Amino acid sequence: MALPDWTVYLPVLCFASVCGGFYICRVFKCARISAWKNSPIAKLMARTEKPLFWIAYSLYTRTKLGYIFHKRQMRKARERYPAGHSRTQPTIINDIKIIPVPILSDNYSYVVIDTASNMAVVVDPADPQPVQACLEEEGVALQAVLCTHKHWDHSGGNRALKRRYRSCRVYGNVMDNIPGLTHPLSDKDTIDFGTRLRFRAFYTPGHTVGHVIYLLDGRAIGGPSSLFSGDLVFLSGCGRMFEGNASTMLSSLDTVGSLNDDTLLWPGHEYAEDNLLFAAEVEPCNVVRKQKLLWVLQQRSQRLCTCPSTLAEEKQYNPFLRSHSQDLHRALGLQQKQDEDWTSYKEGHL
Ligand SMILES: [Zn+2]
């Protein structure tokens, strides 16, 4: 989720309108930066920055304002990218078709179809219009929405699709207040659609308190599994910790790290280029990361989608799946002290 500008600016503006006038006069009297840093408003802003952010975040996630903002973002994105922000290709694995649907400015929904039975499910249909167009073009009936988390840029189309497809079920974690939720999930629940579409839900808090990822079981289709990771893991990156601490997030990332290397990764956003540039800061000498960045730059120069990658690839360049790697520790200059055991945390969480 990219937190909208207004969630930061609106409370700041409200705050400034109440007490800004008095302090602004004082600020302009500060001739030097050091004076500004010591000014009462700077100290007050530093103290209130976090509370203001959380007020804005609560407005976005818990009130109608968030949905109104989301609808505005949908309209703007449809105008700016009438054919979607990226060009995508379906991936077909033994009659199972996975279609990335580019929505908003950098999100992906995923339509997953069993072409033998014409059953379809969709992951995170934040904008119902392009998702419905995809379903109609494929001539399939929507069985269910698999929702990773509550942020509107993942859940904003749940209710509209449920209205359009009356028998459509909406899955997600009850702790996340998913719009239109009909089937609450617990950790490691399985969801079957016929005999070939078998998903397993993993509870992965950190980005939100009820974040869930979905693994399409490759054994049922005789191919690799597919992981729909929402905002937990991206190509070479991970989601922001809005509702969890580092320990919770690391535990959720370890869940991904424990999956098979040939698993295909289908993330919620097209963040590959920025994430690989960040990874370059962390591990400048990582050869696999360099090669992947060259490929991603080539793809993005033609606005081509960069997913899926595999977890085998991610484990070689994604810093957030390499927190236990000695290569990463060396690159960061971390020294393990004699009384520290860096493997104990991981073993305790797998
Ligand atoms: Zn999010």
- List, for residues 195-217, the tens digit of each pLDDT value: 999 999 999 999 999 999 999 99
211 has catalytic annotation: no
| Nearest to 348, CA basis, from 213, 251, 211, 245 | 251
Return the domain boundaries, the chain: 5-62, 91-349
Mean pLDDT of 280-302: 96
Res 331: pLDDT: 83
Contact indicator for 271, 234 with CB cutoff of 8 Å: yes
Count of CB atoms situated within 10 Å of the CB of 229:
29
- The verdict on ipTM greater than 0.95 is yes
Contact indicator for 144, 123 with CB cutoff of 8 Å: no
Name, in order, each residue with C-beta under 8 angstroms of 30's C-beta and a sequence gap of 6 or more: 36, 39
Set 85, 114, 124, 207: catalytic member: 207
| Ligand 1 centroid to residue 171 C-alpha, Å | 16
Mean pLDDT of 36-55: 67
Tell me the pLDDT tens digit for each residue of 227-269: 999 999 999 999 999 999 999 999 999 999 999 999 999 999 9
- Say whether pLDDT at 20 is over 90: no
Give the whole-angstrom CA distance, residue 271 versus residue 259. Answer: 22
Count of CB atoms situated within 10 Å of the CB of 13:
12
231 has catalytic annotation: yes
329 has catalytic annotation: no
Res 27: pLDDT: 32
349 has catalytic annotation: no
* CATH H superfamily, domain 91-349: Ribonuclease Z/Hydroxyacylglutathione hydrolase-like (3.60.15.10)
Set 70, 85, 151, 211: catalytic member: 151
For residue 183, the cross-strand partners are 171
Mean pLDDT of 127-132: 97
Set 70, 85, 154, 211: catalytic member: 154
| Ligand 1 centroid to residue 339 C-alpha, Å | 38
- Say whether pLDDT at 298 is over 80: yes
| Ligand 1 centroid to residue 334 C-alpha, Å | 31
- Say whether pLDDT at 19 is over 80: no
Mean pLDDT of 164-184: 97
- Say whether pLDDT at 109 is over 80: yes
